[in-house]
Structure 1
Amino acid sequence: MNLSKLIVLAAIWGSSFLFMRVAAHEVAPPFLIALRVGLGALLLVAVALWQRKALDIRAHWKHFLILGLLNTAVPFTLFAFAAQTLPASLMSILNATAPIFGTVISVVWLRTAMTWKSGLGLVLGIAGVAILVGLDTATVSPGILLAVGAGLAAGFLYGLASVYAKQAKSVDGFSNAHGSLWAACLFMFPVAPFYAPAVAVSVPVIWSIVAVGILCSGIAYLLYFNLIDQIGAAPTLSVGFLIPVFGVLWGALILHEPIGLQTVLGGAVVLVGTALITGFNPLAMIRRKPVSIS
């Protein structure tokens, strides 16, 4: 059951790159992300009211602002910018570099030791990105390096946010999601009106915006934190290894993106590197018993 939930979550988050790819051609990144976080926040506030979960803003407002900036507003916008150029498949693979950046940041910031597995994983991660950018014919287009840089910068910020969260004051998962989405709204809403579309957008774009906001931000967060309660945080984070699979799949099936040998090879090298860094073990995840919640 939990494995099924994990696969569904990966399928949802993998589709976010598809929806942003569709919307980014008609809606500027700041406006798109303002709508995304706004819709997600509205869904979570509805759930909070239904479940009578209060959000303690006064006690954790600084924490929410940091997460909202590092883990939501800026990386979402960077990927929306990258979506104007990159295929959904490549963006989903770049997203998987977050644990690699997190390890490097942890070594520099927290002075943690770099094991041989982490070092090898780092080298493989860099090699995988080089294969994707240097050899994949689907990525040969104007601005490719800038777009890839934006995707990698988003991965870096995700890694930075994860290291920060380990050092921050403990806050429950739902509050982190709820508070960080509203904090992201504070960052995005003042900027969004300057990037509003000059003409009416198409129906597919409207549905893509609704889907990436409600499905990929709101519902996915609820499923994500439910899984954390059931199987724990570490196994749930393994969803990051499944997201590129669905990102490539949706891109090929719906957007008819080509899947070249370089995409498969580069993506595989990145995921192997990430697995070495995180110590990912799929068998341990499947065998893990649900965490008891008191």
Structure 2
Amino acid sequence: MNHPQGAASAIAARPKPWLLDLVLLGALWGASFLFMRIAAPEFGALPAAALRVGIAAVFLLPLMLLRGHGAALAQHWKPTLLIGVLNSGLPFAFFCFALLTINTGLAAVINATVPMFGALIAWAWFRERPSGSRMLGLVIGFAGVALLASRSAGLHAGATGDHAALWAVLACLAACLCYGVAASATRRHLGGVPPLATAAGSQLGATLFLALPALWFWPAQIPSLRAWLALLALGVACTGLAYILFFRLIERAGPARALTVTFLVPVFAVFYGAVFLGEHVTAWMLGCAAVIVCGVALSTGLVKLGAQKDARA
């Protein structure tokens, strides 16, 4: 009689196979801010972003062809390339620009607002009106960003001026808005397309979009080996491998659980910045980060207030 209960307990206690993917993805995307922070000052924002997506495209396209998804990309190449601009080209350039001024941890905390922008865009595009608790989360989350932007605590050494911090924060928010639009556009125009085809095609689209601006703003001085290695890590690990992990995580755990990687990315980014760059983490940044995380948790539905009432609304 007790044997089935014991077996059920053993199964429940068994580690979930997707947990490793979740933690690894958080570590990779957290490291992307570190590598952008290293590469952008030497390459410039646009060349650094262009090389990142170019390396990722070179890495992903052969894998896509080996999996036999070339026909899918050829059939949907227009929306795929355009979504690449919104989901990679513009956001990566915005973050590289912001990291010329602010710390990696601050940029990663603002990046955690992506699900909130996604909820707003879905509301406007698909008429998916958020519940009461989600609306409250949007207000709390954006209030946290406003508080974070009100001080220049996240400026790194050598960057001065409140206006510089403000422009950097606005660039991060613009990147998050691009991610939100790209998510709804992908849902609208690329439903049923193999994820690897979408990932590879989007990086190709971002590369084509950034190629000429990157050449125009190419640095006069040859960047160091350290900066080149940072970009190689960005393209292969933080973009190519991360995409594969992310789509596998969606398959194994579902979109809702995959979304929780948003909470891990700032943790890893702050850790990397403090250990490898000596960045200072202030109490104000941690407090604002807690406010933003609470807002994201509510706005994405991961945490609900008065769930039954919202369900009836």
Q: Scaled by the length of structure 1, what TM-score is found?
A: 0.91
Distance in 1, Cα, partners of 2:131 & 2:82? 29
Q: CA RMSD in A?
A: 1.6
The one-letter code matched in structure 2 to 1:126 is F
Question: Which residue is equivalent to 2:277?
Answer: 255
2:141 corresponds to 1:122: no
After the TM superposition, list the runs of 4 or more consecutive aligned residues in structure 1 that deviate by more than 3 angstroms.
49-53
Q: 1:76 aligns with which of 75, 79, 92?
A: 92
Asked whether 1:145 is paired with 2:161, we answer: no
Structure 1 spans left out of the alignment, 5+ residues:
282-294
- Please list the CA deviations of residues 29-82 of structure 1 after superposition, one character each: whole Å capped at 9, or x if unmatched: 111111101110111123234444425333101211221111110111101110
Letter in 2 for 1:165: T
**Paired residue for 1:285?**
none
The count of residues paired between Structure 1 and Structure 2 equals: 281
Distance of 1:169 and 1:8 partners within structure 2: 26
Q: Which residue of 2 aligns with 1:157?
A: 178
Corresponding position: 1:213 with 2:225: no
- Residue deviations 1:68-105, cap 9 Å, x none? 11111011110111011010001101111111112222
The alpha-carbon deviation at position 237 of structure 1 amounts to 2.1
**Contact in 2 for aligned 1:9/1:223 (Cα 8 Å):** yes
Matched, 1:239 2:267: no
Higher Cα radius of gyration: 2
Q: Which amino acid aligns with 1:48?
A: M
Verify the 8 A CA contact 2:136 2:298 in the aligned structure 1. Answer: yes
1:163-201 Cα deviation digits (max 9, x unpaired): 222222411211110110111111011221111121111
Distance in 1 of aligned mates of 2:205 and 2:116? 26
Partner amino acid for 1:251? G
Which has the higher mean CA deviation after the structures are superposed, 226-235 or 26-35?
Answer: 226-235
User: In the alignment, residue 131 of structure 2 is paired with which amino acid?
Assistant: T
Percent identity between matched residues is 38
Whole-Å separation in 2 of the counterparts to 1:240 and 1:162: 15
**Structure 1 residues 104, 52: closer, same or farther in 2, change over 3 A?**
closer
Describe the shift of the 1:138–1:257 C-alpha distance in structure 2 as closer, same or farther (beyond 3 A).
Answer: same
Name the aligned partner's letter for residue 98 of structure 1. V
Does 1:201 pair with 2:223? yes
Say whether 1:38 aligns with 2:54.
yes
TM-score of the pair, normalised by structure 2: 0.85
Shift of 1:136: 5.4
1:5 aligned partner: 21
What's the CA shift for 1:266? 0.7
Give the whole-Å Cα distance in 1 for the aligned partners of 2:145 and 2:267: 16
Corresponding residue for residue 203 of structure 2: 181
Superposed displacement of residue 234, structure 1: 2.5
Change (3 A) 1:169 1:21: closer
Q: Is the Cα contact below 8 Å between 1:100 and 1:277 reproduced in 2?
A: yes
Compared CA separation, residues 100 and 206, structure 1 to 2 (3 A) = same
Q: Which residue of 2 aligns with 1:60?
A: 76
The answer to whether the aligner puts 1:190 opposite 2:212 as a matched pair is: yes
Measure, in 1, the Cα distance between the counterparts of 2:113 and 2:71: 31
